[in-house]
Amino acid sequence: MHTLKERLDVAVSIAHEAGELIRQARADQSFSQRLKAGDELVTDVDVAVDQLIRERLNTYFPDEALLSEELSPAHALNADVSKLWVVDPIDGTVNFAQGLRHVAVSIGWMEEGIAKVGVVYAPFLDETFSAAEGQGAYCNQQAIQASKVTRLAETLVGTGFPYQKEARQKLLARLNEVLAHCRDVRRNGAAALDLCDVACGRLGAYYESVSPWDFVAGWVIAREAGASVGHLGTVPEGVPADLYPNELLVTAPGVYEAMHRLLLDADHA
Ligand code: IPD
Ligand code: CA
Ligand code: CA
């Protein structure tokens, strides 16, 4: 039996080792890139980092399931959630390839469908976000908290858009309402960091549909920081909410209801 704290410490050290590989790869500029599934960018660093994290987790937790973007993405929602590691080796691949700094390693762990441990490490920003259930959330070991904002007009909102161009159009009505009623919008290109930015109060809200590896770790961090976490739509029967990646809404507690209404009303405007 490992405590949550032991799991968190191992995950932080693996994320730091993975981050060093990412920093080195950028310094060397020797990686190749290609498109997967038609329009999603992937580099050979994504795969190498996934492999490294997988090897390390297998050493410490050989009997536990692992869902990772590059090496085991299939059947994500049918994964064995009794003890499950959920890994995005590079969140923000486009940023990584373009030399931008919003890039993160994301490692989450869930037990019986409840996400309990999360680490999001941003190697170019030098920030390690971490949380374990019931133990608060931290950035570089300093406790963090979600914003106290209560008005949409003062809420800075993060979001993102799917790689599939045809899926973007229907998100414009929501974006339009957010631009009309909230402070402004940021599209920083790494969902895990968007969640952490809500956790530490830099953003007042974040909404997007993603994949499990993009959000599980950041979800724990946001929840432990006092943010409200939920979905705009219904979570299907039998799927743990903490693994269900569609229509996420993560906000400062004072604006959750108002953001929820704003985004759903936009669909019928
Ligand atoms: C992407 C980023 C981006 C989000 C996309 C994700 P990737 O992850 O998190 O912010 O908008 O939906 O797929 O592909 O860089 O790991
Ligand atoms: Ca990702
Ligand atoms: Ca990724």
pLDDT in the model for residue 74 = 66
The pLDDT tens digits for 200-251 are 999 999 999 999 999 999 999 999 999 999 999 999 999 999 999 999 999 9
H/E/C letters for each residue in 213-241? Answer: HHHHHHHHHHHHCCCEEEECCCCCCCCCC
Nearest residue to 88 via CA among 119, 114, 130: 119
Helix (H) or strand (E) holding 263: helix 256-268
CATH architecture assigned to 4-143: 2-Layer Sandwich (3.30)
Helix (H) or strand (E) holding 156: strand 156-159
How far is the C-alpha of 167 from the C-alpha of 179, rounded, in Å? 20
Helix (H) or strand (E) holding 160: none
CA-nearest residue, atom 16 of ligand 1? 91
CA-nearest residue, atom 15 of ligand 1? 92
- In this prediction, residue 76 has a pLDDT band, given cuts at 50, 70 and 90, of low
**The residue to which tokens 């190749």 are assigned:** 32
On the question of pLDDT at 52 being above 80, the answer is yes
CA-nearest residue, atom 11 of ligand 1? 160
Q: pTM for this structure?
A: 0.96
Q: To the nearest whole percent, how much of the chain has pLDDT over 90?
A: 86
Helix (H) or strand (E) holding 116: strand 114-122
**What is 152-267's CATH topology?**
D-Maltodextrin-Binding Protein; domain 2 (3.40.190)
The pLDDT tens digits for 167-176 are 898 899 999 9
Q: What is the mean pLDDT of the chain?
A: 95
Nearest residue to 52 via CA among 9, 82, 15: 15
For residue 133, give the 3-state DSSP assignment. Answer: coil
Query: How does DSSP assign 191-206, residue by residue?
Result: HHHHHHHHHTTS-SEE
236: left (phi over 0), alpha (psi -120 to 50) or beta: beta
Q: Is 93 in the pocket of ligand 1 (CB under 6 A)?
A: yes
For residue 12, give the 3-state DSSP assignment. Answer: helix
CA of 192 to the centre of ligand 1 (A): 8
CA of 223 to the centre of ligand 1 (A): 20
| Residue of 102, 163, 210, 211 best suited for mutating to test ligand 1, as the one with most atoms within 8 Å of CB | 210
CA of 69 to the centre of ligand 3 (A): 6
Ligand nearest to the CA of 195: 1
On the question of pLDDT at 187 being above 90, the answer is yes
On the question of pLDDT at 256 being above 70, the answer is yes
How far is C-alpha 8 from the chain's CA centre? 16
For residue 252, give the 3-state DSSP assignment. Answer: coil
Strand-by-strand arrangement of the 114-122 sheet: 65-68, 83-91, 104-111, 114-122, 127-132, 137-139, 142-143
Domain locations along the chain:
4-143, 152-267
The lowest-confidence range among 9-18, 24-33, 83-92, 217-226 is: 24-33
Query: How does DSSP assign 19-43, residue by residue?
Result: HHHHHHHHHHT---EEEETTTEEEE
Residue 104 has φ and ψ, to the nearest 5°, of -150, 155
- In this prediction, residue 53 has a pLDDT band, given cuts at 50, 70 and 90, of very high
| Residue of 91, 105, 187 best suited for mutating to test ligand 1, as the one with most atoms within 8 Å of CB | 91
Q: Which residues surround ligand 2, an ion (CB under 5 A)?
A: 88, 91, 214
pLDDT in the model for residue 75 = 64
The pLDDT tens digits for 89-127 are 999 999 999 999 999 999 999 999 999 999 999 999 999
Nearest residue to 117 via CA among 90, 86, 96, 140: 86
Contact 91, 103 (CB under 8 A): yes
